[in-house]
């Protein structure tokens, strides 16, 4: 279920809750235009791991120019199209805005805003897609969290896939297979699949 929420409300609820638990949302830019993805990949390369986010973004501009001046450390790239950070916390929206501004500035797109730049925040199983363009002044964000039935359906599909691909070859019956299933891995697969599909669905509607 997805809904539009003010960024102020999002900051004071979900981001505040993550911050109090010392957790940071994963930054997902996998649905941005390829040219934007390549620029972010270049800026947040392995060489910059462990550096202040503000230093990374400003290194492409004037030395004293800071488009992001809050705390934040670039930890690592989890997989293609994702960034892991620490100490971003409740400033995640400010980071999204700065990242979008950074890309548009580098691509000379500040005035035209022709590059599609959705940035998604991911936590546990929830996602929130932020787009800063001519149709959004940054005051709202699209938030989505799964229902139990959605997760149950995905879990069933993933288990069926595992059974068909290798389980049926290693076990005589499905009950034995189910007893040996790594449920932690299944839970992660369900979360990752739902998040990926939901981000894709939301961004398609925004294009």
| Cβ atoms of 123 and 14 closer than 8 Å | yes
* Domain boundary assignment for the chain: 2-145, 147-207
| Cβ atoms of 2 and 143 closer than 8 Å | yes
Residue pLDDT tens, the chain, 207 long:
789 999 999 999 999 999 999 999 999 999 999 999 999 999 999 999 999 999 999 887 665 567 888 999 999 888 889 999 999 999 999 999 999 999 999 999 988 889 999 999 999 989 999 998 766 788 999 999 999 999 999 999 999 998 998 888 888 889 888 888 888 999 999 999 999 999 999 999 988
**What's the first-to-final CA gap in the chain, in angstroms?**
19
> What six digits make up the tokens of 2?
């997805």
- Residue 5, CB-side half-sphere exposure with 13 Å CA sphere: 20
CA distance 12 to 143: 14
Nearest to 77 by CA among 118, 27, 124: 27
């Amino acid at each position: 279920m997805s809904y539009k929420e003010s960024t102020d409300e999002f900051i004071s609820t979900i981001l505040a809750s993550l911050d109090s638990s010392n957790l940071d949302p994963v930054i997902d830019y996998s649905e941005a235009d390829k040219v934007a993805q390549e620029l972010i990949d270049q800026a947040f390369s392995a060489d910059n791991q462990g550096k202040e986010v503000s230093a990374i973004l400003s290194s492409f501009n004037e030395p004293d120019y800071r488009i992001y001046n809050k705390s934040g450390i670039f930890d690592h790239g989890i997989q293609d199209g994702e960034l892991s950070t620490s100490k971003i916390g409740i400033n995640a929206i400010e980071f999204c805005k700065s990242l979008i501004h950074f890309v548009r500035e580098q691509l000379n797109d500040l005035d035209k805003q022709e590059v599609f730049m959705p940035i998604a925040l991911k936590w546990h199983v929830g996602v929130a897609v932020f787009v800063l363009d001519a149709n959004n002044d940054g005051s709202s964000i699209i938030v989505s969290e799964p229902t139990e039935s959605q997760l149950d359906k995905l879990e069933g599909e993933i288990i069926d896939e595992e059974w068909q691909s290798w389980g049926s070859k290693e076990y005589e019956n499905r009950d034995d297979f189910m007893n040996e299933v790594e449920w932690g891995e299944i839970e992660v697969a369900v979360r990752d699949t739902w998040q990926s599909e939901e981000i894709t669905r939301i961004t398609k509607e925004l294009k």
